Amino acid sequence: MTPKVDPAGRTRRWTIPKKYVNSLFAVLLGLIAGAFFMLAIGRNPFVGYFYLFKGGVMNLKYIGQTLATSTPLILTGLSVAFAFRTGLFNIGAAGQMLMGGLTAIGLALTFEHMLPRGILLAVIVLGSIVAGGLWALIAGVLKARFNVNEVVATIMLNWIAFWTVKYGVYAFFRDPQQETQSKAIDAVASLKAPWLTSLFPGSYINLGLFLSLIALVIIALVLDKTTLGYELKAVGFNRSAAEYAGIKVNRGVILSMTIAGMLAGLAGATYWTGYSSNMQIDTSSLPSQGLDGIAVALLGTNSPVGVLFAAVFFGMLQSGKGFMTAVTGIPPEIADTIIATVIYFAAAAVLIERVLDAWRKRRASKALAATKKGGEE
């Protein structure tokens, strides 16, 4: 499969865009690091990976589980990616997701016996989207009006959301039997649909999957086919140039942040009123989907299609780890370790680029030398 290089260095039989090459290498290095960690505790990495991936896809239940785990990741990944395209780093997907989830649970518990299912689900979903959007709007306004770094602002908002959920659930929605969680929502308010669950029996798959795919398509269209998307991307490429071209940069920043928050808020609804049916508050950390969303966005090179693949890949690791642990005894945190290493290598993409460049140059010069020696044309 060696691509031919002619003396001018032009012809290549196939090329993968550089950014995807970096992602693939980041995944490869992440998997190698994972193998190293398996070896370090005396386990066979091939066996480990076999069961890790088998646990993600071996039957309908596990495929459903992989898709269910991927659902919020698609949305948080999309959230981070969308903000990235406008040059904003949304590290606050976790907080926006929490606010969306709290709103969804609150609406579900309040209206579950009052509204018909269709309207109820619409209220829950829209409520979570609005809540997530408003939460991110704060960071957007702070950035646009006061030039407050959105990274810092969203980190602060994450923890404000964390405590809001903790005390909000405790004060208003707690389960009288178990004070560390909210009451469970009724099946009528859940995004789980009987027909879907019967397709993937035993999994937590829910209508959120379709919502996330719809969101994915909408975001792809907005980015590539609308003036708004063009303007937002222009702001991301070069803020000053965009401003000079008459694009309202501040409006773009606020809008982009809000849309990112809406996506993450929806992730909260799909997770707590779809995958799960209540909110746990005995945790002392933020939902992992926030950080994983950053990994998904980076690995997916901030494009909707890339996000989809990256989210399903990480979803597979996350849902397969239980089976792998049960069979091989390798701790389930190997999945998080791999994801963490992938994001590190994605950050250090320069390293990969440098190595690849050096390799390409050496190969090109070799090929050149070979043709000179052979032909003297």
* Alpha carbons 304 and 46: distance in angstroms, whole number: 31
* Alpha carbons 55 and 149: distance in angstroms, whole number: 41
β-partners of residue 235 are: none
User: Does 39 interact with another protein (rule: CB under 8 A)?
Assistant: no
User: Does 340 interact with another protein (rule: CB under 8 A)?
Assistant: yes
* Alpha carbons 332 and 340: distance in angstroms, whole number: 14
CA atoms within 13 A on the CB side of 296: 37
* Interface residue with another protein, options 57, 134, 155, 356 (CB under 8 A): 155
User: Does 148 interact with another protein (rule: CB under 8 A)?
Assistant: yes
User: Does 346 interact with another protein (rule: CB under 8 A)?
Assistant: yes
User: Does 334 interact with another protein (rule: CB under 8 A)?
Assistant: yes
User: Of 159-167, 231-239, 272-280, 368-376, which segment contacts another protein by CB under 8 A?
Assistant: 159-167
Q: Between 37 and 204, whose beta carbon lies closer to another protein?
A: 37
User: Of 118-126, 175-183, 214-222, 330-338, which segment contacts another protein by CB under 8 A?
Assistant: 330-338
* Alpha carbons 252 and 323: distance in angstroms, whole number: 45
Give how far Cα 273 sits from Cα of 63, 113, 116, 201, 293, Å: 20, 15, 16, 18, 19
User: Does 153 interact with another protein (rule: CB under 8 A)?
Assistant: yes
* Interface residue with another protein, options 60, 134, 218, 348 (CB under 8 A): 348
Q: What are phi and psi of 49, to 5 degrees?
A: -65, -35
Q: Between 6 and 333, whose beta carbon lies closer to another protein?
A: 333
Give how far Cα 262 sits from Cα of 183, 239, 323, Å: 25, 23, 33
Q: Between 5 and 88, whose beta carbon lies closer to another protein?
A: 88
**Minimum gap (Å) between residue 171 Cβ and another protein:** 4
Question: Among candidates 291, 360, 302, 323, which has minimal Cα distance to 93?
Answer: 291
User: Of 15-23, 239-247, 273-281, 282-290, which segment contacts another protein by CB under 8 A?
Assistant: 282-290
Q: Between 37 and 271, whose beta carbon lies closer to another protein?
A: 37
Identify the sign of the CA torsion 303, 138, 92, 62: negative
Binding site for another protein (CB under 8 A): 37, 41, 89, 91, 142, 146-149, 151-153, 155-160, 162-164, 166-168, 170-172, 284-286, 291, 294-295, 298, 331, 333-334, 336-337, 339-341, 343-344, 346-351
